[in-house]
Chains A and B, each alone.
Chain A
Amino acid sequence: ETGVTQSPTHLIKTRGQQVTLRCSSQSGHNTVSWYQQALGQGPQFIFQYYREEENGRGNFPPRFSGLQFPNYSSELNVNALELDDSALYLCASSSTRMEDTQYFGPGTRLTVL
Protein backbone atom coordinates (compact mmCIF):
# COMPACT_ATOMS: atom_id res chain seq x y z
CA GLU A 1 0.00 0.00 0.00
CA THR A 2 1.21 3.50 -0.85
CA GLY A 3 -0.48 5.44 1.92
CA VAL A 4 -2.43 7.50 -0.62
CA THR A 5 -6.15 7.36 0.13
CA GLN A 6 -9.11 8.45 -1.96
CA SER A 7 -12.81 8.87 -1.28
CA PRO A 8 -15.37 7.87 -2.19
CA THR A 9 -14.59 4.49 -3.73
CA HIS A 10 -17.50 4.60 -6.14
CA LEU A 11 -19.87 7.34 -7.21
CA ILE A 12 -22.86 7.55 -9.53
CA LYS A 13 -23.98 10.91 -10.89
CA THR A 14 -26.25 12.13 -13.66
CA ARG A 15 -25.31 14.31 -16.60
CA GLY A 16 -25.04 18.00 -15.69
CA GLN A 17 -24.35 17.42 -12.01
CA GLN A 18 -21.19 18.39 -10.15
CA VAL A 19 -18.86 16.06 -8.25
CA THR A 20 -16.05 16.43 -5.71
CA LEU A 21 -13.43 13.72 -5.23
CA ARG A 22 -10.96 13.69 -2.37
CA CYS A 23 -7.38 12.55 -1.89
CA SER A 24 -5.01 12.34 1.05
CA SER A 25 -1.37 12.20 0.08
CA GLN A 26 1.25 9.89 1.52
CA SER A 27 2.83 11.18 4.72
CA GLY A 28 5.64 13.59 3.90
CA HIS A 29 4.47 14.20 0.32
CA ASN A 30 3.56 17.77 -0.66
CA THR A 31 2.71 17.30 -4.34
CA VAL A 32 -0.50 15.79 -5.64
CA SER A 33 -1.38 14.92 -9.22
CA TRP A 34 -4.75 13.84 -10.61
CA TYR A 35 -5.32 11.47 -13.52
CA GLN A 36 -8.35 10.20 -15.42
CA GLN A 37 -8.31 6.59 -16.57
CA ALA A 38 -10.97 5.50 -19.05
CA LEU A 39 -11.73 1.79 -19.31
CA GLY A 40 -8.97 -0.06 -21.15
CA GLN A 41 -6.72 3.00 -21.37
CA GLY A 42 -3.71 4.37 -19.54
CA PRO A 43 -4.14 7.24 -17.07
CA GLN A 44 -4.33 10.76 -18.53
CA PHE A 45 -2.81 13.66 -16.58
CA ILE A 46 -5.37 16.25 -15.43
CA PHE A 47 -3.32 18.59 -13.23
CA GLN A 48 -0.82 18.78 -10.40
CA TYR A 49 -0.88 20.77 -7.15
CA TYR A 50 2.13 21.91 -5.18
CA ARG A 51 1.96 24.15 -2.11
CA GLU A 52 -1.74 24.78 -2.68
CA GLU A 53 -1.26 26.05 -6.24
CA GLU A 54 -1.83 24.41 -9.61
CA ASN A 55 1.63 23.51 -10.91
CA GLY A 56 0.71 22.16 -14.33
CA ARG A 57 -2.28 21.01 -16.33
CA GLY A 58 -3.02 18.47 -19.02
CA ASN A 59 -5.53 18.76 -21.85
CA PHE A 60 -8.71 19.01 -19.77
CA PRO A 61 -11.36 21.77 -19.89
CA PRO A 62 -11.81 24.37 -17.13
CA ARG A 63 -14.79 22.51 -15.69
CA PHE A 64 -12.14 20.25 -14.15
CA SER A 65 -10.75 22.17 -11.20
CA GLY A 66 -8.93 21.38 -8.01
CA LEU A 67 -7.73 22.48 -4.63
CA GLN A 68 -4.89 21.58 -2.33
CA PHE A 69 -5.11 22.22 1.39
CA PRO A 70 -2.38 23.16 3.92
CA ASN A 71 -2.15 19.50 5.00
CA TYR A 72 -1.44 18.63 1.30
CA SER A 73 -4.72 16.77 0.81
CA SER A 74 -6.51 17.63 -2.40
CA GLU A 75 -9.88 17.78 -4.12
CA LEU A 76 -10.86 17.32 -7.73
CA ASN A 77 -14.06 19.06 -8.79
CA VAL A 78 -15.86 18.39 -12.04
CA ASN A 79 -18.77 20.61 -13.09
CA ALA A 80 -21.46 19.97 -15.71
CA LEU A 81 -20.74 16.25 -15.85
CA GLU A 82 -20.81 14.56 -19.24
CA LEU A 83 -21.23 10.87 -20.04
CA ASP A 84 -17.59 10.72 -21.18
CA ASP A 85 -16.45 11.75 -17.70
CA SER A 86 -17.21 8.21 -16.55
CA ALA A 87 -13.80 6.85 -15.56
CA LEU A 88 -11.48 5.88 -12.72
CA TYR A 89 -10.01 9.03 -11.18
CA LEU A 90 -6.59 8.51 -9.70
CA CYS A 91 -4.65 10.64 -7.29
CA ALA A 92 -0.88 10.33 -7.01
CA SER A 93 1.49 11.95 -4.57
CA SER A 94 5.20 12.64 -4.73
CA SER A 95 7.60 13.84 -2.09
CA THR A 96 8.38 17.15 -3.76
CA ARG A 97 7.52 19.00 -6.94
CA MET A 98 10.87 18.00 -8.39
CA GLU A 99 10.47 14.31 -7.53
CA ASP A 100 9.47 12.23 -10.48
CA THR A 101 8.20 9.10 -8.78
CA GLN A 102 4.48 9.28 -8.17
CA TYR A 103 2.61 6.88 -5.90
CA PHE A 104 -1.01 6.22 -6.69
CA GLY A 105 -4.09 5.75 -4.59
CA PRO A 106 -6.78 3.15 -5.31
CA GLY A 107 -8.92 5.57 -7.32
CA THR A 108 -12.55 6.67 -7.37
CA ARG A 109 -14.81 5.02 -9.93
CA LEU A 110 -17.19 7.68 -11.31
CA THR A 111 -20.19 6.65 -13.39
CA VAL A 112 -22.20 9.36 -15.15
CA LEU A 113 -25.69 8.34 -16.30
Chain B
Amino acid sequence: GESVGLHLPTLSVQEGDNSIINCAYSNSASDYFIWYKQESGKGPQFIIDIRSNMDKRQGQRVTVLLNKTVKHLSLQIAATQPGDSAVYFCAENIRPGGGADGLTFGKGTHLIIQP
Protein backbone atom coordinates (compact mmCIF):
# COMPACT_ATOMS: atom_id res chain seq x y z
CA GLY B 1 0.00 0.00 0.00
CA GLU B 2 0.93 3.64 -0.18
CA SER B 3 3.02 5.11 2.58
CA VAL B 4 2.26 8.70 1.65
CA GLY B 5 -1.22 10.16 1.73
CA LEU B 6 -3.05 13.46 1.77
CA HIS B 7 -5.78 14.53 4.13
CA LEU B 8 -8.09 16.30 1.65
CA PRO B 9 -8.82 15.52 -1.99
CA THR B 10 -9.98 19.09 -2.75
CA LEU B 11 -9.10 22.44 -1.19
CA SER B 12 -10.88 25.64 -2.21
CA VAL B 13 -9.38 29.02 -1.24
CA GLN B 14 -9.97 32.66 -2.09
CA GLU B 15 -7.50 34.40 -4.35
CA GLY B 16 -4.98 36.25 -2.19
CA ASP B 17 -5.44 33.98 0.83
CA ASN B 18 -2.80 31.57 2.06
CA SER B 19 -3.21 27.87 1.29
CA ILE B 20 -2.09 24.95 3.41
CA ILE B 21 -1.95 21.47 1.91
CA ASN B 22 -1.27 18.59 4.26
CA CYS B 23 0.32 15.20 3.84
CA ALA B 24 0.78 12.25 6.18
CA TYR B 25 3.43 9.61 5.71
CA SER B 26 3.86 6.32 7.49
CA ASN B 27 7.42 5.25 6.67
CA SER B 28 9.72 6.50 9.42
CA ALA B 29 12.73 5.58 7.24
CA SER B 30 11.83 8.24 4.68
CA ASP B 31 14.59 10.83 4.53
CA TYR B 32 13.57 13.08 1.66
CA PHE B 33 10.27 14.68 0.74
CA ILE B 34 9.18 16.61 -2.33
CA TRP B 35 6.14 18.62 -3.30
CA TYR B 36 5.06 18.57 -6.92
CA LYS B 37 2.43 20.62 -8.74
CA GLN B 38 0.59 19.04 -11.64
CA GLU B 39 -1.56 21.07 -13.99
CA SER B 40 -4.09 19.40 -16.22
CA GLY B 41 -2.44 17.57 -19.11
CA LYS B 42 1.10 18.18 -17.85
CA GLY B 43 3.75 16.29 -15.93
CA PRO B 44 4.47 17.01 -12.25
CA GLN B 45 6.49 20.18 -11.67
CA PHE B 46 8.99 20.36 -8.81
CA ILE B 47 8.04 22.98 -6.20
CA ILE B 48 10.18 22.45 -3.12
CA ASP B 49 11.90 19.68 -1.19
CA ILE B 50 13.09 19.00 2.32
CA ARG B 51 15.34 16.47 4.00
CA SER B 52 14.56 14.71 7.25
CA ASN B 53 17.27 16.63 9.12
CA MET B 54 15.28 19.85 8.63
CA ASP B 55 11.85 20.92 9.86
CA LYS B 56 11.23 23.94 7.62
CA ARG B 57 12.32 25.18 4.24
CA GLN B 58 11.21 28.27 2.36
CA GLY B 59 11.05 29.07 -1.31
CA GLN B 60 9.43 31.79 -3.33
CA ARG B 61 5.89 32.09 -1.87
CA VAL B 62 6.07 28.49 -0.64
CA THR B 63 7.10 26.92 2.66
CA VAL B 64 7.36 23.25 3.50
CA LEU B 65 7.09 22.09 7.10
CA LEU B 66 8.12 18.64 8.29
CA ASN B 67 7.01 17.20 11.61
CA LYS B 68 8.77 13.86 12.05
CA THR B 69 7.17 13.22 15.44
CA VAL B 70 3.73 12.84 13.88
CA LYS B 71 4.97 12.03 10.36
CA HIS B 72 3.32 15.06 8.84
CA LEU B 73 4.32 17.26 5.93
CA SER B 74 2.65 20.47 4.81
CA LEU B 75 2.95 22.92 1.94
CA GLN B 76 2.05 26.53 2.54
CA ILE B 77 1.42 28.81 -0.43
CA ALA B 78 1.31 32.51 0.35
CA ALA B 79 -1.03 34.94 -1.44
CA THR B 80 -2.58 32.29 -3.65
CA GLN B 81 -2.95 33.23 -7.32
CA PRO B 82 -5.14 31.76 -10.10
CA GLY B 83 -2.02 30.11 -11.57
CA ASP B 84 -1.70 28.06 -8.40
CA SER B 85 -4.76 26.01 -9.38
CA ALA B 86 -3.51 22.45 -9.84
CA VAL B 87 -3.21 19.09 -8.13
CA TYR B 88 -0.48 19.00 -5.51
CA PHE B 89 1.35 15.80 -4.63
CA CYS B 90 3.72 15.07 -1.83
CA ALA B 91 6.26 12.34 -2.49
CA GLU B 92 8.83 10.59 -0.36
CA ASN B 93 12.07 8.78 -0.95
CA ILE B 94 13.36 6.32 1.59
CA ARG B 95 16.76 6.00 0.01
CA PRO B 96 19.11 8.23 -2.00
CA GLY B 97 18.55 8.05 -5.74
CA GLY B 98 15.30 6.18 -5.30
CA GLY B 99 16.75 2.82 -6.15
CA ALA B 100 14.33 -0.06 -5.78
CA ASP B 101 11.55 2.16 -4.53
CA GLY B 102 11.71 5.33 -6.57
CA LEU B 103 9.52 8.11 -5.28
CA THR B 104 6.30 7.17 -3.51
CA PHE B 105 3.44 9.56 -4.22
CA GLY B 106 0.18 10.23 -2.46
CA LYS B 107 -3.14 10.62 -4.27
CA GLY B 108 -2.96 14.41 -4.48
CA THR B 109 -4.94 17.46 -3.40
CA HIS B 110 -6.78 19.52 -5.98
CA LEU B 111 -6.32 23.21 -5.11
CA ILE B 112 -9.12 25.42 -6.47
CA ILE B 113 -8.71 29.20 -6.40
CA GLN B 114 -11.94 31.18 -6.03
CA PRO B 115 -11.92 34.72 -7.53
A contacts, CB < 8 Å to B: 2, 4, 31, 33, 35, 40-48, 50, 55-58, 90, 92, 94, 96-107
Contact = CB atoms under 8 A, between A and B. Distances in A.
Contact of B104 (A40, A45, A99, A100): A45
Contact of A31 (B32, B42, B97): B97
A42 B89 contact: yes
B49 A101 contact: yes
B101 A106 contact: no
Interface of B is mostly: loop
Given A42-B105, A42-B108, A43-B105, A104 B97 contact: no
A94 B102 contact: no
Given A42-B107, A105-B43, A98 B96 contact: yes
A104 B45 CA distance: 7
Contacts of B93: 100
B98 A45 contact: yes
23 contacts: A2-B43, A4-B43, A33-B98, A33-B102, A35-B102, A41-B107, A42-B108, A43-B44, A43-B89, A43-B103, A45-B101, A45-B103, A48-B97, A56-B99, A90-B44, A97-B97, A97-B99, A98-B96, A99-B97, A100-B93, A101-B49, A107-B42, A107-B43
